[in-house]
Every structure is written in C-alpha cells, then in structure tokens.
Structure 1
Amino acid sequence: MDAADRVTDGWEPTLAAALLGAERAPPPAPGLLTALVAESDPGAALLARLAAEGVHHLAGTELGPEALAPIEPREAFGPECPPAAATRLYGLLTEGYSARSRVEEWFELAAAAGSRPPAWLFQVLMQQRDSLPTTAPAVIGAELDWLARACGEAPDQGAETADASDWTEGTVAERRAAFTALRVRDPEGARAALEPVFRKEKADAREALVHALATGLSQADEPFLEACLDDRANGVRLAAQHLLPRLPDSRYAERMAARARAALSVESKRKLLGGTTHSLVVTLPEESPELARDGIEANQWERRGGGARAGLLRAILARAPLHAFAAHPPRLWIELALRSEWADPVFHGLFSAAKRTLDPAWAEAMADITAEAYEGKVTGVRRTNEVLGMWAEALDLLPDAAWEARVGALIRARKIEVVLAVLAQGPEHFSESFSATLLDWLAFVTRGSDALRRDLAKPWVIARLGDRLWPSDDSAASAAAILARLPEEDADRLRTQLTGLTGVLELRAAIRRDFRPETTTGGTAQG
C-alpha cells in the first residue's frame, strides 16, 4: 500500500482549507477520502471533503492504540445452511412463542447436517439469545459469543472460564450450574469441597447445591444426604428426600424396604384339590416423626378425604427399593394389588417404584397384567376407566419400540377406546412405520360413524400428534387427505384438530426439505 492509499487523519488540513476558502486553498493531498469526492465545483468539493474528514476524525476520538487491534478469528460450526433454511429460521424466530418448538427442531436438523445460520441472521439471534433452545449453542453459540465480545458485550474467554469454574460466587442459579459442572468432572471432589462450608450457606443456596448432587450421584453421597434430612430448611430436606430413593443400598432405602414389607405381605394357602391361592395382606402405616423425617406425610386432600394412611402406604411403596418385593415375582404383586380393596395406593405406589428404576421385569409385568385386567381376564377385577388408565400408565414404562409394538397391535385390532387412552402418553416421537400405521388408523376412524368421530375428537389427542408423528412429506399428505375427506357436517372440534395436525406436519416436512441441497427457496413459516 503506497502513501496515496492510506486513510490518514486529514481533518486539520481540510479545516484550514475551508477557512482560507476554495479559491485560495492549496489542492488536497491525494488519499482514499479525497478520491471519494465526486463534486466538480471547488466549493462543493471542499464541503464534501470537510464532511468526510470530519466523520473520519470523530470516529477515532478518544480511542487508544488498542482499539486498532484485530479481534480473534470467528469460529464457525460449519458451512452456511441452504438459503431456504435460513429464510425459514428467520420466519420462525420472528413469528413468536408458537414457533418455539419448531426453532428447536430447526437447530437439531442444522446440527445433524453440520451447517449453521448465515451472518445476516446474527442480529435477530442475538436479540433472542436467552430464549433460544438448548440445541442452539452447539450450532451458533461460538459465533454469538464472538459477536458479543467484538461488541464489548461479554467478557473475554479467559475471564468467562474462570468465573464458570468458581461455584462459590455468583447468583444461586450460577453457583448451582458451576457446581453441577464440577460434579461432572469430579463428583467426589465436588462433594468434599461442599461439606465443610455447607452449613454456612443460606437456605436457598443449600437447597440448590443439594439438588446439584443429582449429577454423578453415587453411594458415596449417602452420608451427606442422610445428614441433610435433619437440615433446618424444608427445601434442603425435600431435596435429600428426592435423591435418597435413587440409592438402593442407602440407609434410607433400607428403612423404606422394611416399611414396605411391614405394610404388604402375601398370604398363600394350599387348596384341597391341589394348587395354591394367594391373597394380599395390607397393613396401613401410622403417621410418625420418623416417617415425616423421610418425607412420608399425608397431603391435605388425603386428610380431608379420610385417606391419610392410604396416602402413607402409597408414598412408602413409591420410595421403596424393588428388592423389598423379591420374595414373589412382579406379576403376582401386581395382580394381587389390582384385586385388593387398596388397589389404588398399592398399584400406584408400586408403579412409581418401577418408574423410578425402569426395571424391565416390572414394566413388562405391569403392562401385561393391566391389559388382561381391562380385558376381563383377571378374576375379581372389573373393567373400568380406572383400570384403563392404569394400563396406559403401565405401557408408558416400556421402551419406545415395545410401546409402539403393543399399541400397533391394538390399532390393528381396532380397539379405538384403548388406543385413544394410550395415545395420551407414550414416546415423544414416533417411528416412521408406526406413524404410517397411526395415520391409516385415523383415516379408518374418520370414515366411520358420527359416534366414532365424536369419540376421536373428545380427548383432544389428535391436536397433539403433530409434534410426535414422523415429519415426512408422506405423513403431511396423509393428514391432508384425512382432513379433505372429513364430512362437511362434522363438528368443528375434530376439523380444528385435524387442521392443526396437518399444518404442523406440513411445516415440519417443509423445514426438512429446506436443508436438502437442491432446495433454493424457503416458504413462509406457518405455525
């Protein structure tokens, strides 16, 4: 670069020329700003130079040499996403709260594709940074951090790292996050650092830090959590009561196992003609300070309804380790629970214990027995809506593939009432094959009688399927066809749900098309 190309501060020479006047001033020195002046009239040219040099001069006022130091290079996640995907993201970001789940889905797809938003979206992304989904930082977080530092809106990387590693300073939320990060790196060291200062902390900080022990929780944390049961703050006690049932070898679990065995037992009698009959013996627990210390207390609704002791039973079973019931197979416990006069607290207590541990034997047994009970195959158990609800809950304990297999069988058997009940739960996202089966079932039901369509509309299940069905062009087309064939005289409720379902599936399919290399234009985001 030669001298004529340098942008030097020519404010003072230009100001002196203006004071002399265009006719008496010497010709300007060559430079980039001078070359930008296009006016042919000497007076107009001098005023244009004065304006340009003035702006250039003020731009550097009060700036030290460090202002000219270049910032670090921008780290990008990958190549820019296709233009259609970028246009779609802008529409989703500016659409409002209704598009939040679609924004999360967009970033999941971007991460899978290894692409990122283009720079022209940085402004709107910065404005909404605090509300972006958890999937966004992996894709755009580094670039937004870079932009914040370049604009002087964030500390440098070294300071940020130092602050994040210190769990003793900051707000309660910041300290919990930093302590959780320390537990990820060193569970034992984190707890050891907490123990000597724990009693000096305020109640809200103690509660938050105990909750953070969920990360890396192990039997080594048991003595500390056991001591927290006697903390003066209720929130700390509740946090410890929440974590201790997850330690099956803890003193807490031993106490719950002993209480569960005292409350439930199986009485077996041999029949004269062979065989054995079993019955469940239930001994309702009494309230006590020891139970209260472990978080076993009846709630106000149970007290008003006269079911305080049943509530205690449910809570004990829910927190007991499953080895407390090892004397008999899961199937026997569950079947006897359904036959018992205390079916509700016993079944739901056992259900909560199975849900906490996700024990496959208990999950399978619950799904089998509740299905048989609703189909009238369990002696002494009536087919009721309550049993149907238990069946739906039990199916939800199964892995996604097993859930889909069982519900698929119900769909093929045309058990409409049961399918509607179980669809309220289940996997967050359905597989492609199950989605096709479910859409075929919806088409069948909507072509049925008015009563079937009314039953389909009642629980508002259809309206929530758009986020769960496989988001392909075929799924969107199937939903649109179901809506198009819906009789005109049908009530608005089912039509509204199918319209929403179709719109969501069409949008989700369009977002995926946007990421295909051959896509060149993006549509308008529709929520």
Structure 2
Amino acid sequence: MTDPTDLVADGWEPILAAALLGAGRAPPAAPGPLADLVTESDPGSALLARLALHGIHHLAGLDLAPGAMEPLAVRETAGPECPPAAANRLHALLTGGHAGRERLREWFDLAASLQVRPPAWLHQALMLQAGNLPESAGAVIGPDLAWLAAACGGEQDGPSADAPADWTEGSLPERRAAFAAFRARDPDGARTALEAVFRKEKAETRTALVGALWTGLSDADGPFLETCLDDRAAGVREAAQRLLPRLPRSLFASRMAVRATAALVIESKARLLRSTTHELVVTLPQESPTLARDGVAPNAWEQRGGGIRAGLLRDILAAAPLHAFSGHPPRLWIELALRSEWAEPILRGLFSAVARDGDPAWTTQIADGLAEAYEGKLSGIRRTNELLRRWVEAIDLLPGPEWEARVTGLIHARKIEVVLAMLEKGPDAFSERFSAVVIDWLAFVIRGSENLRRDLAKPWLIARLGERLWPGEDIAATAGALGARLPKDEGHDRLRQQVTTLAETLELRVAIRREFQQ
C-alpha cells in the first residue's frame, strides 16, 4: 500500500519550478502514483502533463497530510427554519440593492420575535453580506455564521451574539465593546479597573474607554470624569464633557447651576389688586478658562460672525441641571423666554437640557406653553414659522403615545399646516391606531382643494410615511387607493409619485409579515 506522505514528495512547487527551467533542463519525475500516469515520450509534453496532474492535485488539497484535516464541531441548530416564502424574501433583500437592505432590519426583527432562522441554502449569501446585516441578525443567524466562518478557516465578520470577554486585549473596537459589557455587569468594578491602568493607555484608547462609561453611567463616575477634564488629550476631555451634564449631583452640575442662575433671573413685582408681574433679566456670560475647561467655548462660526456671549449662554443652559430653575414653574420660564430679546439662545439651551433629562413636568409645560403661543393666546408673541418650529420640537420631546394624542387632536381640528410640520418629527414607528388616523387624514386632504393637495406635496413627507405607518392590511389597502383619488392631470405628478412610494412600501412590509405566517 502506498504511504500517503508519498503523495507530497513531487508536489506542486517542484513541478512549477521545473516548468520555469524548461523541459530540457528539468529534473526527471520522482517515482510515485502521479508519475506513473505520465505516458508522453516528448519531454515538453511530459512536463506539461506533470504540471497539469500536480496542479489538479494541489487545487484538490490532496497534498495535505492526513493530520491536517480536523473535524469541525457539530453545528447545533438555533431554532426552526422560517417558512420558504420568508426565506425567498430574505434572498431578494440580500441581493436587491440598497432599497432591499432597508427591509433587512425589519425581516430579522420579525424572525427574532418568532424565533425562526434562515435555511442553510441562504448561508452563503448571508456571509457575503455579513458586514451589512443589522444588529438584530446576531441573535437569529450569528451562531450559524460563526460556525460557517470556522469551517472556512476564517473569522466571522458580522453581527454576533457574544462580545469579547477581556477588555484589556484586542483591537480598540473589541476593547471598547468588552469594557461596555463589563460596565453592564459591574459599573463600579469596571470604572475602578479602568482607573488603575488609565494613564498607561494611549490617547485614542483613553478616549474610547471614557466614552464607554455611558453604559451604567451614575453619580459615582463623577469624580473620575472630573479628572478627565484635565487630561492632556482633547478627545478624553470632550468625552467627559459629554457625560458630565447627565450627572445632576456632580461638581460639574453645581458649577453649571451657579452659572445658569447668574445668567437668568426672574424678577417679580407686586402690583395693585394682588397681581404680580414677572420680568426675565439676562446677563450674558464672558469667556473664561474655567468655562472652557467645562466644554463651554465659542464655536468657529461664532468666533467669526459674532454672537459669542449668546452662544455661551445657550451652552451653559444646555449643560445645567434642571433643578437650577426650580424657583419658578417651567411654564413661566418658557413664556418669559419667548418675550426676551435673547429668546433664541435661551430656548435652544433649555430645550437641550429638557431633551437630556426627559423631565415630564418640563416637557409637558413647554409643549403647552408653545401651543398657546402659536395659537395667539399669549400676549406680545407673534405667530411665526420659527415659533411653529419650536412648537414642533417641544411636542417631539413628549413620549410617543402622548405625541400621537396631541397630533391626533390637531388632525381632528383640520390644522393642515401644523400637522405637516408635526409629522416631520415624532416616533420612527407609529401605533396601529394612530396610523389609521393618519391614513384617513391623507385621504381627506387628497379629496380636498387644490391648495391642500399642493401643501401636502411640498415637503416630500408622504413617501417617508411608508416607513413609519403600521404595516396593517387595511392601512396598506387605503394607501393603495389614494392614488386613484388624485385628479388625472400633470399638476399632481409630485404628489402622485409620493403616494405611489407610500403604497409600495406598505405593501412590501405587509407582504413580509404575511410570509412569516405561511
């Protein structure tokens, strides 16, 4: 019996070298099973035959020693396969370009909720698109792709359900992910471990790891982040400046509260008949090294075009804790700010602080105050497009259900211009009930006057609603019928295009859900 190791005695590389020397100078073939297959008498033909035989032998992998082939671990299935129609849809999404890939997240979200996975025949396409798969794909197909990558002798490049365990080793993204996982398990322990080695790390590593303190952030992180404000690396300082405003009981918050209360003061004066008037007194801050240390400094545009002190006021208010304004109700602060000559920086700063803290009293009272201002119920305040924009931003701070309730009220009040502005913001996904209200409202506007249809088409809003409306059968059917209600003339091409895109998007999303039920 032939020893298997003899198969590599006259391998691909020696034959290739012989071919480079030429037939006349090439050494004779070594004895073996492959040499016995060469029967050509001409030296040149014999060399070409040897080259062909060993080339096939090389490509087939037969020159590997028997011990080099190690069996892979058995692949354990992660759940039942999805229906064939859903698998075909996934294949179309993987190969259908950018528009198809936008639906991948929705497909994998549904698969994860139903605990099903793609069949094996899709694994190759999934491996090719591993870098483009959504995060939710890790729970659905991550183990299969990891097994397949190991079978191919490579590493998985795509979503994975597991994060690296050791945050002190690996690439910078791997270390950051591992440290964030450490923070999720033990926030104080992770911070303590980081402090022990922090000064030995490179600047880019320190920046990434400080940014990862976002996970599990608490007031206990305040002292360490305070030291980061004096780090020699600008990235570390900026990372700490982004996190500290979220700690309302930190030293940073105390400094900002003092600065905010020095910049804005409400003076109250008693009048006859027990009435009291209020006036907002604004003192614009000055530049200083201590302000710059806390991240409050003029940006490049403000340095060139002026407005430096107004920008400092805005940034101080944005970083200040909301308890700095607790001496008066939020509604009064907003009303007085609207009447101030410094309304723009004050409102922008307060909006940033409210968006950061998510305080329910502030969000509700800001929304109420701006609604009354736009509707002309507050004296001395004119209705402007800027005021409408502020109102839209205020409503957008509310939780999704409350936002939907307020916009539903505006829809029932037939405030077309305001509703269009509101729909530019709001949740990424609407509830089924609100989606039905919106689609009925669209039908009403399309049946209305020429001016209403023109207003509806201007912001290119309708097509984007297909991504946010609830993908229900009835809603999709109503969307499909909207185009038939448009007049048959060229003046409605823009609106017709948007309505068509809306209907097609909803129809596709409904079809994806239907296929998972087959």
- Corresponding residue of 1:48: none
Equivalent residues in 2 for 1:243-258, closer than 5 Å:
243-258=243-258
Quote the Cα distance in structure 2 between the aligned partners of 1:244 and 1:94.
45
Quote the Cα distance in structure 2 between the aligned partners of 1:417 and 1:337.
25
- Corresponding residue of 1:521: none
CA shift at 1:57, angstroms? 13
CA shift at 1:196, angstroms? 2.8
Deviations 1:391-445 (A, max 9, x none): 1000111111000000000001100000011101001100111101001111111
Equivalent residues in 2 for 1:219-230, closer than 5 Å:
219-230=219-230
Quote the Cα distance in structure 1 between the aligned partners of 2:280 and 2:303.
25
The answer to whether 1:381 aligns with 2:381 is yes
Q: Which moved more, 1:319-328 or 1:170-179?
A: 170-179
Quote the Cα distance in structure 2 between the aligned partners of 1:192 and 1:143.
37
CA shift at 1:61, angstroms? 3.9
Structure 1 residues 276 and 513, CA gap change in structure 2 (3 angstroms): same
The answer to whether 1:124 aligns with 2:130 is no
Quote the Cα distance in structure 1 between the aligned partners of 2:405 and 2:216.
34
- Corresponding residue of 1:147: 148
- Corresponding residue of 2:480: 480
Deviations 1:31-72 (A, max 9, x none): xxxxxxxxxxxxxxxxxxxx9xx9899665423346253x22
Equivalent residues in 2 for 1:312-391, closer than 5 Å:
312-391=312-391
- Counterpart residue type for residue 143 of structure 2: A
The answer to whether 1:137 aligns with 2:172 is no
CA shift at 1:77, angstroms? 2.4
- Corresponding residue of 2:64: 62
TM-score between the two structures when normalised by the length of structure 1: 0.85
Quote the Cα distance in structure 2 between the aligned partners of 1:438 and 1:265.
43
Contact 2:57–2:63 under 8 Å retained in 1: no
Contact 2:317–2:350 under 8 Å retained in 1: yes
Quote the Cα distance in structure 1 between the aligned partners of 2:340 and 2:105.
46
- Counterpart residue type for residue 66 of structure 2: G
- Corresponding residue of 1:85: 86
- Corresponding residue of 1:178: 178
Larger RCO of the pair (alpha carbons < 8 Å, separation 6+):
1
Quote the Cα distance in structure 1 between the aligned partners of 2:59 and 2:256.
77
The unaligned stretches of length 5 or more in structure 1 are 1-7, 20-50, 518-527
Equivalent residues in 2 for 1:256-267, closer than 5 Å:
256-267=256-267
Contact 2:447–2:486 under 8 Å retained in 1: yes
Quote the Cα distance in structure 2 between the aligned partners of 1:463 and 1:57.
53
- Counterpart residue type for residue 362 of structure 1: W
- Corresponding residue of 2:299: 299
- Counterpart residue type for residue 397 of structure 1: L
Deviations 1:423-476 (A, max 9, x none): 010011001111010011111111112211111111111121111000112121
Quote the Cα distance in structure 1 between the aligned partners of 2:135 and 2:346.
38
CA shift at 1:285, angstroms? 0.6
- Corresponding residue of 2:199: 199
- Corresponding residue of 1:507: 508
- Corresponding residue of 1:415: 415
3-state SS, counterpart of residue 143 of structure 1:
helix
- Corresponding residue of 2:462: 462
Deviations 1:157-205 (A, max 9, x none): xxx98x9222222322222112112211222222222213222222211
- Corresponding residue of 1:498: 499
CA shift at 1:274, angstroms? 2.5
3-state SS, counterpart of residue 426 of structure 2:
coil
3-state SS, counterpart of residue 267 of structure 1:
strand
3-state SS, counterpart of residue 167 of structure 2:
coil
Q: How many residue pairs align between the two structures?
A: 469
- Corresponding residue of 2:270: 270
CA shift at 1:336, angstroms? 1.1
Contact 2:486–2:492 under 8 Å retained in 1: no
Q: Percent identity?
A: 63
CA RMSD of aligned residues (A): 2.4
3-state SS, counterpart of residue 104 of structure 2:
helix
Quote the Cα distance in structure 2 between the aligned partners of 1:173 and 1:290.
33
CA shift at 1:487, angstroms? 1.2
- Corresponding residue of 1:440: 440
CA shift at 1:335, angstroms? 1.1
Structure 1 residues 278 and 146, CA gap change in structure 2 (3 angstroms): same
Quote the Cα distance in structure 1 between the aligned partners of 2:130 and 2:70.
28
Quote the Cα distance in structure 2 between the aligned partners of 1:477 and 1:56.
60
CA shift at 1:379, angstroms? 1.3
3-state SS, counterpart of residue 466 of structure 1:
helix
TM-score between the two structures when normalised by the length of structure 2: 0.86
- Corresponding residue of 1:5: none
Quote the Cα distance in structure 1 between the aligned partners of 2:70 and 2:197.
46
Structure 1 residues 310 and 117, CA gap change in structure 2 (3 angstroms): same
The unaligned stretches of length 5 or more in structure 2 are 8-31, 38-52
- Counterpart residue type for residue 64 of structure 1: P
3-state SS, counterpart of residue 103 of structure 2:
helix
Quote the Cα distance in structure 1 between the aligned partners of 2:169 and 2:221.
23
Quote the Cα distance in structure 2 between the aligned partners of 1:369 and 1:345.
18
- Corresponding residue of 2:167: 167
Quote the Cα distance in structure 2 between the aligned partners of 1:296 and 1:421.
32
- Corresponding residue of 1:285: 285
3-state SS, counterpart of residue 274 of structure 2:
coil
CA shift at 1:305, angstroms? 3.5
Quote the Cα distance in structure 1 between the aligned partners of 2:154 and 2:59.
25
3-state SS, counterpart of residue 265 of structure 2:
strand
